[in-house]
Every structure is written in C-alpha cells, then in structure tokens.
A = this chain, B = another copy of it.
Amino acid sequence: MTTASGDHGVAFGNRLLDALSPADRARLRPEVALEDFGMKQVLYRPGGRIDSLYFPVNAVVSILTTLRDDPAVEVATVGNEGMVGSHIVLGSETMSVRELCQVQVPGRMWRMDSGSFVRVLSEADPFRDVVQRYLQALFAQISQQVACNALHSVEERCCRWLLLTHDRVGSDTFPITHEFLSQMLGVRRASVSLAASTLQQAGLIDYGRGRLTVVDRHGLEEVACECYRVLRDEFDRLLGPADAPADPPAGTA
C-alpha cells in the first residue's frame, strides 16, 4: 500500500502529486526535495510564516488548534493523500493565530518553497485543480471531525484515528504513545489506555512503549465510527482511488 507504481518511475509516492500527468510531474520535479522529518517537529507555529509546503510520503502531520488552558487538539491529519500549508492556496502567507502544524509520525516529505508553489499554481491549471480538490477534501475532513468529537465515543475515535494513520504511513507499525493520542482526541490519557487495552484484548492491535501495530485492520473498521469510511470515500472521490492516480473526477469546468 506504499507507492502507486505502474507509473513511469517518476511517481512521488504522494497521491496529490501523483494525480498529475507524467509530464506535469516531470515539470514539478525540480521544484521539490525529499527530506526526513522527526517526531513532534513543528512545521508552522501559530500565526507563523509559511515558507515551505510539504507533501508527505510516509510521514503524517497534524493540524492542531491551540487553546488557552488545554493542550492543542487535532483538527485534521495530513498524509500521503495531501499537502501541508494549504493556507498559501487561499492567498495567506501565515497560519491562523491559533493553528499549529506538527509532525506526528516521522518520515519523508517532499518540501517545496512557497514561492515556487505560488508560481507553479498560477502557471499550471492541472496543478491548481488537484490542489483545490484537496482543499475540498481537507474541508470535509475537518467538518467530519466536528461531528465526530460531538457524538462518538473515545474508543470509536481511537479506531478512526488509527485507521487514517495506517492508511498513510505505509506500514503496520508506527510510533505513537497513549499520551500523544489522548491530546489529539482531546481526552484523558487514561481513557486512551483503557480503549487501547480493549482493542488489544480483542486482538485488533498490539502496542507497547510508544510503538503500535495494526493487527486486524478489518476488525478496527468494525469498531470505528462511520467517520473513517466517510473520509476515505471523500478522499477517493476527490483525488481518485488510492492506487490509481489517473483520471480526475468530474467537478471542474
């Protein structure tokens, strides 16, 4: 479930970039550089400048909302299906005053200078199209998160989170602590420990000391709330199925 090969060797391993034609990808290639990112690395601070954009390959990034008294809560996650730094698309050079972007699962991302990004965006319509479709998907993700946090249990939300992350890291095992996950979900660490323990006893996951392994993916989907599938379907609709980049869906004239 890693890269979408079958493409002529120039695939980026990022669904957004790989949705472009080979020719467009070739044009984009000199503008980006593959880099490694460590856990909890902060990409943008609240209100900070957006100097670079990032297209994850196997890293996962959280968009967080910071609050006065509580730790920050996750608003959306970005992985190999999208990009980090979308505010640039809306013409802003800075983050919102309360928003933060942080690496949550370490890995590789393509880095692109924001100046280059703006230039390419204005020159290449296909690129603008796919970026705008991704913004719609991001919108949908955050919207779903609103309802999910209001209505669904901690255990359901844990499953949703694990599944979305699993889709994005390209590996069954990835580093994550209960403490960190509890902050993402806006709940107690103990609540996550309890849910995780239940999932482990059910044979769905395995974990210990900051490393988690997805054992029974299908089982996780059974326990997760509907939000996971809704989001996956919406991403597939807007960016094409995970494995086949090819044809952009209808919706642009």
Q: Once the chains bind, are A144 and B98 in contact (CB under 8 Å)? A: yes
Contacts of A45-75 to chain B: CB distance below 8 A: 63, 65, 67-68, 70, 72-75
Q: Once the chains bind, are B73 and A136 in contact (CB under 8 Å)? A: no
Contacts A93-B251, A226-B68: A150 and B98 contacting too (C-beta < 8 A)? no
Q: Once the chains bind, are A150 and B186 in contact (CB under 8 Å)? A: yes
Tell me, yes or no, whether A25 is within 8 Å of chain B by CB: no
Q: Which residues of A line the B interface, CB within 8 A?
A: 63, 65, 67-68, 70, 72-75, 87, 90-94, 96-99, 128-129, 132-133, 135-136, 139-140, 142-147, 149-151, 185-187, 226, 230, 233-234, 237, 251-253
Q: Once the chains bind, are A251 and B91 in contact (CB under 8 Å)? A: yes
Tell me which residues across on chain B come within 8 A of A234, comparing CB atoms: 96-98
Residue of chain B at shortest CB distance from A128: B91
Residue of chain B at shortest CB distance from A226: B68
Q: With A68-B226, A98-B143, A151-B186 given, can you name 18 additional A-B contacts, CB distance below 8 Å?
A: A65-B146, A65-B147, A67-B147, A73-B151, A74-B146, A87-B136, A87-B139, A90-B133, A90-B135, A90-B139, A91-B128, A92-B252, A96-B234, A97-B234, A97-B237, A98-B230, A98-B234, A147-B186
